Structure 1
Amino acid sequence: MAESKDRVVERLCLVFSAELISSGFLRGTYRSALDTLLALAIGQANLASMARDLAFQKAYAGLSSSPPDHLRRPVRVRPIALSLGIPQETARRRAAMMVKDGILVQTDAGVFMPKSVTETPSYIETAKATWGAIGGLYRALRREGALGPPADQAGGEEIPYRYMMRLWGDHFLRLIEMLLPMLQEPFDIVLLFAILRASQSVDAGTDNPVSASSLSRSLGLPFETVRRNALRLAEKGLCQKAPRGYVITSELLDTPVWRQFAERHRLVLMRFFSIMGERGLLGWWEADYQAAKA
């Protein structure tokens, strides 16, 4: 029996997030996946007051123009930790290390991510890779008829990488908020997608367990933290403990708990595309889709 359109879309979305989210949290620019999560939340909060200012969004849409530091409102680490469900002392200590590394700036009013961090080759490479990955999902959803053509066409100005990244950051934090009732910690979502990516069960139909030690190294987190959280995911039926690590099998993806997770995940991703459409940003990907069809 052919899969329903929703099931096809759910699997496309899972493949997408397994690659983009898990690879985005691999150890690289930041010391660990936890630092990446904190930096993302802090950077988004710094510019939250400008989120609905369309003039601001358009002025700082492309890679050539990053919002200046005086527009970045410092935030306290404590409310960020509370919103993410991270122990306050852990968040304070990690933020202090990021200040020392030059990733954050400490002020009397709190911390902020400076413009210089969003102008590094690493950030630019990440923005372009994220744009390409989301564009790939957009084209797949258009082919499946899950998205209709946008009202706006791509403009002749610079590709709005930064604007997209701000919207994507909001989306990911919303994804955490929506999926957290099924899990326990925000990091569990990152870990789950990392196991899914390694398992390759969504894409290739193969079952390749990944060890806690491998996940620990790639995510820059203590082995015991990864092992404990992975076991909790297994207890919830979201992954399986195998002799050589943890795995998400094709059969597991058809269980009720994964069906619920996949449905929630699909709804949040489709909402992201809806917001991109409302902001007139889908035309760029639509042009690529039409070019591919031709």
Structure 2
Amino acid sequence: MPEDTHGVDRRRLLSRLGGDFQLDAARRVARSMSRDVATVLVFLEINRANVAALTASREPIAEPHAGVPGLPPDHMREPVSIYLAARNLGMPYETTRRHVKKLTQVGMCETVPGGVIIPARAFLDPRLMAVAAENWAATVEFVQAAGRLGVSDSGLRQPASPDQFRQVNRAVSAYCLETACHMSRVMDLEPLAVLILRAVNLANVRNLTQDPDAALAHAGLADILPDAERRPISVYGLAKYLLLPYETVRRSLLQLEAKGLVRRDKGGLIVPAEVVARPAVVAGIAELVALTEILLSDLAAAGLAYQPDS
């Protein structure tokens, strides 16, 4: 997406749409596994590493598992060490190890020679299959919402492949991971703190994405909503939204407050406009937009693009 689309800079708008999409996808997976969003990030990172060599190609997976197109069987999955998964996530080793243990206890992760894998049978769990269907519907709506607001990659649309469903879900999983890890590096924060910070900011400005006119009026990188117009969110509301223990959220917020990234305002928490306007944050948002553009391009290449008449 160019900086100026039909005369309007839509980069901050696309960042908000992508942020809501990312967090909602993570929440759906967390609910299905009865785990928090930090565990979901570890789950996604292990699976990404397991199938990275396979997904580098757009060719359909020739050997499906249990008759499911695009689902590689265990012997095709490359194990990853907990150390490497932690490094890729920017998460402490012990924290990552605890999340791996949680996943292993519920059969969502398995230790094999060379490291750990997310076994193919995990994706056949009815709960995860239901989430995959929900993510598909949410992805279609995300593409349509972006298109209606002037952001579209329809020209790159290709015919759907035999494993389109899995290709789309893999692209969405990669996006959720990459955006979290990217902001973790930009803000020098652990991924969980990044998700909490992003959730606060999105809650502050969610009214903009729900109103098309307001969305377009605050669409560009320079269009920052002033503090007086931000809608605060409580610690309890934040914990409930992210499916995290209250104390976990409270401790992370204390760290974010100490760094000046979050402020307690009347009615709850806000990310001040001053923070959103910092050059490093603006540059990070521009790079998040680039990742969102890549997602839209990948979805179009998989056969899923904006259809104006839908």
Same fold (TM over 0.5): yes
- TM-aligned CA distance change 1:74 to 1:254, over 3 Å: closer
CA drift at 1:197: 4.3
Q: Which residue of 1 aligns with 2:88?
A: 83
Partners of 1:202 and 1:252 lie apart in 2 by: 18
Pick from 9, 27, 32 the counterpart of residue 25 of structure 1: 27
Q: Which residue of 1 aligns with 2:138?
A: 133
Aligned-pair identity (%): 22
TM-score (norm 2): 0.76
- Number of equivalences: 282
CA drift at 1:160: 1.5
Map 1:1-294 to 2 at 5 A: 5=5, 7-22=9-24, 24-25=26-27, 27-28=30-31, 29-57=33-61, 64-65=68-69, 66-155=71-160, 160-183=164-187, 184-199=189-204, 200-204=206-210, 207-234=230-257, 238-248=261-271, 255-256=277-278, 259-277=282-300, 280-281=301-302, 283-286=303-306, 289-292=307-310
* Displaced runs of 4 or more, over 6 A: none
Letter in 2 for 1:124: M
Question: 1:253 touches 1:259 (CA, 8 Å); kept in 2?
Answer: no
SS at 1:246 equivalent: strand
TM-score (norm 1): 0.80
Deviations 1:45-92 (A, max 9, x none): 11112122333447659x933221221222111111122122212211
SS at 1:93 equivalent: helix
User: Structure 2: which 5+ runs fail to align?
Assistant: 215-228
- TM-aligned CA distance change 1:262 to 1:239, over 3 Å: farther
SS at 2:59 equivalent: helix
| 19-28 vs 118-127, which moves further | 19-28
Q: Which residue of 1 aligns with 2:221?
A: none
Question: 2:81 touches 2:116 (CA, 8 Å); kept in 1?
Answer: yes
SS at 1:53 equivalent: coil
SS at 1:202 equivalent: helix
SS at 2:107 equivalent: coil
Partners of 2:308 and 2:253 lie apart in 1 by: 42
CA drift at 1:261: 4.0
SS at 1:147 equivalent: coil
Partners of 2:295 and 2:157 lie apart in 1 by: 16
Partners of 1:144 and 1:218 lie apart in 2 by: 26
User: Structure 1: which 5+ runs fail to align?
Assistant: none
Letter in 2 for 1:209: P
